[in-house]
Structure 1
Amino acid sequence: MDAQTYNTALADLRTVRDQIKKARAALVKQEADRDKRIVQLASHEKATAQRIAPAAGLSVADVVALVPALAPDSLAANAPQPPPPRAPQAAVESAQPLPKHTAAAPVPTASDHSAPPPVPAEVTALEQSAAPEAPRELPSIPADSTGDAWFAHASGLASTRPNFTQQARSTVFLDTATGVLVHRNQTHHLDLANRSAADLLTAVFHTVPEGVERIYITAGDPWHRDTGRYPYLRDAVAAWLNAPTPGWRTDTGRGRDRMAGHFVHARNPVGRYQRETGEQHVEIRSVGEWFDVDGDDPATVRDAFVLLWQALRRHWSDAVVMGSPSQTGRDLWTRTIPQRGQYSDGFPVLSEELRGLLHATAGQGRNELITPPRLPDQLPQLVEYDRTFAYAKHTWKSPVGTPRRITARTFAAWSEKEQMRALYGCGHWQVRVTVPDTWNHIGLLPAPAPGDRAWHYPAGPGTTFTTWAGGPEIHTALTNPIQPWKIEILDGILWDDGKPLDDWAKKLKETWTNLSAQAHFQGDAQQARAAHLASRAVRSVLLYGIGAFAQRPRMVTGTTPRTLERDVPPDAEIIGFDDELITWQKPTGFARDPNAHPEWAAAIWSGARAALLTQRHRDDNTYAGALHTPPGTVVAFRTDALYLTQPHDWPHHHQPGDYLLRGHLTGPVTAPTTEEELLTLRDAGRGALTAEREA
């Protein structure tokens, strides 16, 4: 084969690659539609997996995996019974002061680094045939001294109080649907032509010649203008960001702000540009990072940011609203690091190994949709409860100090009191979990599911699985108001209790309270709306500030001309392409980030997930949460929201963590089977509740 033939064949191969990507996108949609139809068919009283399987082109096992209730009687009869409870070792039965309606549960431990009990061969074969994708396996701490070496801090890396003043950036607010631009107290009308990045930059800098460093898009989503040309939304966004911008190039970062390159996100991307000549830098961002805009004009959005800045200044004299809530949150937190006392020299960062373990084993919010046949096809109603400013309730205690490894043997050797103190403390535990044989409610603990960072919540009676979970969730599983679960400690990480986030969170909560009050009592409708948006922005500062502590492994995004495809890094994943450019991304591991504290994010997320299940209201002497609802009435969880088939009289005192009634849709309501259907019903329920209150 000569060089010309080789190059021609490469071009043909790229064409086939593009066609395959589009075909796969179409196939994914068709498979989702097929699965939805199978679930619908399963609601028929005489439905059988043997009848549905050939119609769907699947095996009986595949159909049963989608709808377990369709398992043939012969398989169900041969299914193994859950093993009897193991005797607790070394006096590790837990007993602790509990609410009157709860009971203590045994907390047996396993021998150090022991393997799960053997599974009968026929069960293994059945599981393999019924599950097209095996759950991912969570990592463990190495058994030898290698694992013990993880329990240290990264050398020379700690969060310290900044010794510089953050600089504000000149900002404009632009509605790309109408062309309305607000700069300080002036309003302009721009001709944005085709709404490309180049058109926006040209129009804005022609109107504001003295220079702008940040352009917030309030409406119009210009990066979605060519979605019909691409199989994925992300591809359209990448193409918009990377289209030619004469006179500009992709920003490479500067000074203390090392943010560089475009950030490809399906809904809230960030475009970073730099003059080809000169030092002028500008970002194009979406205000969707901060709050949801519901038809608000750029002037109202501008007022919201002004109110946010003024409110933050009451607590931080040097507060600056940065480009994103996460940047703002972490910057404000560093300015609460104590100047005296134990941590005046900073909060040390964990070893990279422990950070990696937490990244892999500590999920974020609970997102779960419960579908038929676990629920009826027609729901009597759909009620939405949202935990107000939820994460702010779980920042009062966080892990600090050098972590300690707590092996199964160590835990078993402790007294009952020491075990309970550890489980109440700041810890992250590897556990073997067994669901009670008579359990008939929702799952309590997250387990790894197929897919990158995917989690599910097993609830089947007798189910056993191994996972990692935080102390609040372990405690909830042991003391829940229905029936204690069996928990075996396999390994664990334990820290001292501290308050590194308490001052920061209290100031943000006070800021949120003040802005919420302004929104309620403000007589001017526009200023009331601006105050409401500002209060939502404070929520985002705390929410995404906590997420920023988690410090995901860094992902670098880049572009390469199609003519230079051989220059794409060999370990990169191609995430988009057009006729001219290939967009790719590649992981680069953990950066030496002095503010990386995934242990704080993990503890807060665990507490928030546990509070979705049960939360005590001391002043009202009552409880709220999913476990305080009848079995079969929970429809979905979405981070800090709970969807039910009946309302509950739970207290709401406008305090962080309180359950707020957000939506109420009277039935009958067709049970949602996809996230899109749930969100459609959510919006309808919120609208119905608003109309009811205004009537």
Structure 2
Amino acid sequence: MDRKAYTAKLAALRELRAEIGAAEKAVADAQRALGRLGQERGRRVMELAAYEGAKADAIAKAGGLSVGDVVRIAPLLDPTPPGARVVRADDRGAAAVPAPAPPDQTPPAVETAVAVAPAPTRPAAAVEQPPVPAPDAAAAPAAAAVAAATAPAARETEPGVQADSSAAAPVVVQGQVRVLPHIPQGPAGDRFAAVTSGLVSTRPNFVQQPRVTVFLDAATGDLVAREYTLRLDLGAKSPGEILDAVLAAAPGTERVYVTAGAPWHEGAERYSTLKDAVAAWLHTPSQRWTTATGRGRDKLAGHFVHQRQPVGRYAPAAAPDGAMVEIRWVGEWFDADGADPALCRDAFRLLWQALRRHWDDVVLMGSPSQTGRDLWTRTIPTKGKWAGGYPVMSEELRALLHATGGQGRSELMVPPRVPERLPGLVEFDATFAYGKQTWKSGVGAPRRVTARAFAAMDEGAQAKALMACSHWHVRVTVPAGWEHVGLLPAPVPGERAWEYPATGGATFTTWAGGAEVHLALTNHLMPWRIEVLDGLVWEDGKPLDDWAKRLKAAWADLTNLSTLHGDERQRTAAYLASRAVRSILLFGIGGFAQRPRTVGGSTPVGEPLPAGVEILGQDDRLVTWQRSTGFSRDPNAHPEWAARVWSGARTALLSMRMREDDVMVGALHLPPASIVAFRTDAIYTTADVTWPYHGQPGEFLKKGHLPGPVPAPATLDELLALRDLGRAHFARGGER
């Protein structure tokens, strides 16, 4: 470049600077105009919200907003169960008034706190102040000011420990509050203890059609289709390039399981989150492929954006209503852990053969959850009381269970609850834990048990109600002098987030399964004080028992094969297949919970987006998004079953009697200061105890032992690192 060219380019750069400045000014003007329009839209939403029959979804659609946006502008339009929301204090310290605790049926002057007493040693009932009634709209600002003035200052607590609070106070952490929903009185409450009209789980009258499936190592390009292996050129590993290569080598393919390579993480460093990277990969433009819209009985459509287990669903762009091809991660079924595609194919083959012994019409569907629920429908009885199928709970009750039926316990104790230096770390993992909890589940419409009705029961009737399939709204007080881990979950800010208060005197309000509440009352250390506010009790039934027994039999067959087969590769394949059976039961139970469904899609830049979407990412061509479609009329939605299994598993993690050995096992039977962490069905402890193990579901297997001293983990990653070291040390024969 000479001097003349340099001067010319400088002049051109100045012109560009002027253009950029003008564009920035235009953007600023547009943003100000957009802000004014947004304020006007908010004002109009507030006007519409004043109408008695206003609905959040209708206003959202008219205003181009999500329902969540409308609710944030006009909280009275919140369609979720009352109180199931997060409230934040603003910068000036004014606190929003949380939804009050639900009143029971006692006279308005006092509220009788029923200290549940199945055992003779229970503390006597106490009398407390009634909950504050809900303020009306006009009184809300004054009530907020009073709440701000009288609320105790939030203080930091140890992880997993609830700060002391009044009996009626919601859980508060760093200015946030999350209050769980309750069942209202009157006709609105009656709808909770009901079933959905015309919606019943029935045995299918059709056979699922298998899909042609291949297994692909995206790192090497190795493809296993039927009985042959090929190496493909996957180019830049975009979805379109992968599908082009796979379909050219194996025409007719309908499902691709990626066994290694995770192509959706390619270039992830360019994105702020891993989810953004996955979304961008799934929606990478292709001339030959477009997002599938579902077909036949398979109503799934669009991609599923997940950080580690995404699902891409594609159709030929020339015939978008044609055959759909899925790209999935084999890790949905089991951890391949370096297994090649041929070994993964063999694992699926063994899985199908093991299940075929128990279901003549078994078809392996895309995910363990889909497969599990399909197999369950084929065990629905054709005789007896439930021959016509199992009724689905009301939408109100399903929403309540979604908000209050937590899953596995995940908790990490950090110093000073545990020493800075641990004398060692032992891992006990409950084998096939959920498989032990499927022998009983609630069926039919539940019976509501109010606080007054519960108080009127004798101790035997109270114990029977708690030990039935039940779900309870309770106010809990940790006894003074309690030195062990927490027993009942308390809500903390964040969707479906829980902690387990263990500080003596801590009081909180929560929902819990009957088994957990009963354990809190009858544990061998010290009974907790429980005040029943409300409850739902189902008729005991066995809707999952036959399904689970068949799965456990298949799991046992494959587990035995994984130790007895003479060929090492087949032993590994059988082990992977046994893990897949575990996933079918585990995720099948999770599928019964029927969370609000999320669908995703993409829209060309400049075109209007669908109402209520969350933008996941954008490039120069497409805006990728997702949105929740709420609860569907799913005939197989049974969150009451999932909640009972999860509650039973959390209870067994704390205390369980091994009948054959007459031995009590679980965290409560370990020294209090020895518990380091819980992870769903695993206990991490410094106590090296010897518990019986026969390889049956629910029994605790010692899987790792790391001799100390070791630093106490402060994060989940640190815990997992110590776990891996402990497993490796234990596998080498150390500290058995």
TM-score, normalising length: structure 2: 0.79
**Residue 644 (structure 1) aligned to one of 669, 679, 685:** 685
Matches within 5 A, 1:490-501: 490-501=533-544
**Residue 604 (structure 1) aligned to one of 645, 649, 656:** 645
Shift of 1:285: 0.2
Letter in 2 for 1:605: W
Find the counterpart in structure 2 of residue 193 from structure 1. Answer: 235
Partners of 2:361 and 2:124 in 1: CA distance: 49
Shift of 1:585: 2.1
Partners of 2:28 and 2:293 in 1: CA distance: 32
Find the counterpart in structure 1 of residue 161 from structure 2. Answer: none
Residues 128, 693 of structure 1: CA spacing in aligned structure 2 closer, same or farther, 3 A cutoff? closer
**Residue 105 (structure 1) aligned to one of 122, 126, 134:** 122
Task: Answer whether contact 2:705 2:735 (CA < 8 A) is retained.
Answer: no
**Residue 336 (structure 2) aligned to one of 293, 297, 309:** 293
Matches within 5 A, 1:38-187: 94-96=117-119, 104-106=121-123, 108=125, 114=131, 124-127=151-154, 131-187=173-229
Task: Answer whether contact 1:251 1:260 (CA < 8 A) is retained.
Answer: yes
Find the counterpart in structure 2 of residue 440 from structure 1. Answer: 483
1:532-568 per-residue CA deviation (whole Å, 9 max, x = no partner) reads 000000000000000000000122222223333xx22
1:20-64 per-residue CA deviation (whole Å, 9 max, x = no partner) reads xxxxxxxxxxxxxxxxxxxxxxxxxxxxxxxxxxxxxxxxx9xxx
Partners of 2:132 and 2:442 in 1: CA distance: 29
Residues 237, 107 of structure 1: CA spacing in aligned structure 2 closer, same or farther, 3 A cutoff? farther
Find the counterpart in structure 1 of residue 438 from structure 2. Answer: 395
Unaligned runs of 5+ in 1: 15-60, 62-86, 97-102
Task: Answer whether contact 1:113 1:408 (CA < 8 A) is retained.
Answer: no
Return 265-274 or 575-584, whichever deviates more: 575-584
Find the counterpart in structure 2 of residue 528 from structure 1. Answer: 571
Find the counterpart in structure 1 of residue 676 from structure 2. Answer: 635
Partners of 1:560 and 1:11 in 2: CA distance: 26
**Identity of paired residues, percent?**
58
* Residue 379 (structure 2) pairs with residue 356 (structure 1): no
Shift of 1:356: 0.3
Shift of 1:587: 1.9
- Output the aligned Cα RMSD: 2.8
Find the counterpart in structure 1 of residue 98 from structure 2. Answer: none
Partners of 2:228 and 2:490 in 1: CA distance: 53
Task: Answer whether contact 1:110 1:490 (CA < 8 A) is retained.
Answer: no
Task: Answer whether contact 1:234 1:576 (CA < 8 A) is retained.
Answer: no
**Residue 471 (structure 1) aligned to one of 514, 517, 540:** 514
Partners of 1:365 and 1:345 in 2: CA distance: 32
Matches within 5 A, 1:645-684: 645-684=686-725
1:278-327 per-residue CA deviation (whole Å, 9 max, x = no partner) reads 41210000000001111101111000000000000000000011100000
Residues 7, 193 of structure 1: CA spacing in aligned structure 2 closer, same or farther, 3 A cutoff? farther
Letter in 1 for 2:337: D
1:511-549 per-residue CA deviation (whole Å, 9 max, x = no partner) reads 000000000101100000000000000000000000000
* Residue 646 (structure 2) pairs with residue 623 (structure 1): no
* Residue 9 (structure 2) pairs with residue 9 (structure 1): no
Partners of 2:546 and 2:124 in 1: CA distance: 35
Task: Answer whether contact 2:476 2:530 (CA < 8 A) is retained.
Answer: yes
Residues 268, 8 of structure 1: CA spacing in aligned structure 2 closer, same or farther, 3 A cutoff? farther
1:3-30 per-residue CA deviation (whole Å, 9 max, x = no partner) reads x97995179979xxxxxxxxxxxxxxxx
1:580-602 per-residue CA deviation (whole Å, 9 max, x = no partner) reads 33222222210000000000000
Letter in 1 for 2:118: A
Partners of 1:370 and 1:530 in 2: CA distance: 37
Shift of 1:471: 0.7
Task: Answer whether contact 2:196 2:394 (CA < 8 A) is retained.
Answer: yes
1:469-498 per-residue CA deviation (whole Å, 9 max, x = no partner) reads 001100111111211100010001111100
* Residue 557 (structure 2) pairs with residue 539 (structure 1): no
1:75-98 per-residue CA deviation (whole Å, 9 max, x = no partner) reads xxxxxxxxxxxx9969975234xx
Partners of 1:11 and 1:655 in 2: CA distance: 69
Find the counterpart in structure 2 of residue 232 from structure 1. Answer: 273
Letter in 1 for 2:669: H
Partners of 2:129 and 2:348 in 1: CA distance: 54
Task: Answer whether contact 2:469 2:538 (CA < 8 A) is retained.
Answer: yes
Find the counterpart in structure 1 of residue 453 from structure 2. Answer: 410
Shift of 1:636: 0.7
Partners of 2:111 and 2:662 in 1: CA distance: 34
Find the counterpart in structure 2 of residue 65 from structure 1. Answer: none
Shift of 1:634: 0.7
**Residue 410 (structure 2) aligned to one of 367, 373, 376:** 367
Task: Answer whether contact 2:276 2:617 (CA < 8 A) is retained.
Answer: yes
Partners of 1:516 and 1:551 in 2: CA distance: 30
Return 573-582 or 274-283, whichever deviates more: 573-582
Residues 158, 220 of structure 1: CA spacing in aligned structure 2 closer, same or farther, 3 A cutoff? same
**Residue 296 (structure 2) aligned to one of 249, 255, 262:** 255
Find the counterpart in structure 2 of residue 507 from structure 1. Answer: 550
Letter in 2 for 1:531: A
Task: Answer whether contact 2:488 2:501 (CA < 8 A) is retained.
Answer: yes
Task: Answer whether contact 2:476 2:508 (CA < 8 A) is retained.
Answer: yes
Residues 292, 11 of structure 1: CA spacing in aligned structure 2 closer, same or farther, 3 A cutoff? farther
1:239-297 per-residue CA deviation (whole Å, 9 max, x = no partner) reads 00000122111000011000110000000000000112341210000000001111101
Partners of 2:586 and 2:562 in 1: CA distance: 20
Matches within 5 A, 1:543-558: 543-558=586-601
Find the counterpart in structure 1 of residue 560 from structure 2. Answer: 517
Residues 167, 121 of structure 1: CA spacing in aligned structure 2 closer, same or farther, 3 A cutoff? closer
Secondary structure of 2:463's partner?
helix
Shift of 1:401: 1.6
Find the counterpart in structure 1 of residue 524 from structure 2. Answer: 481
**Residue 453 (structure 1) aligned to one of 467, 490, 496:** 496
Shift of 1:104: 4.4
Shift of 1:125: 2.5
Find the counterpart in structure 2 of residue 587 from structure 1. Answer: 628
Secondary structure of 2:727's partner?
helix
Task: Answer whether contact 2:118 2:521 (CA < 8 A) is retained.
Answer: no
Residues 197, 153 of structure 1: CA spacing in aligned structure 2 closer, same or farther, 3 A cutoff? same
Secondary structure of 1:601's partner?
helix
Task: Answer whether contact 1:107 1:487 (CA < 8 A) is retained.
Answer: no
Letter in 1 for 2:615: I
Secondary structure of 1:146's partner?
helix
* Residue 609 (structure 2) pairs with residue 568 (structure 1): yes
Residues 480, 493 of structure 1: CA spacing in aligned structure 2 closer, same or farther, 3 A cutoff? same
Task: Answer whether contact 1:108 1:489 (CA < 8 A) is retained.
Answer: no
Secondary structure of 2:178's partner?
coil
1:424-446 per-residue CA deviation (whole Å, 9 max, x = no partner) reads 10110000000011001111100
Find the counterpart in structure 1 of residue 106 from structure 2. Answer: none
Larger Rg: 2
Partners of 1:544 and 1:12 in 2: CA distance: 48
Letter in 2 for 1:416: E
Q: How many residues align?
A: 613
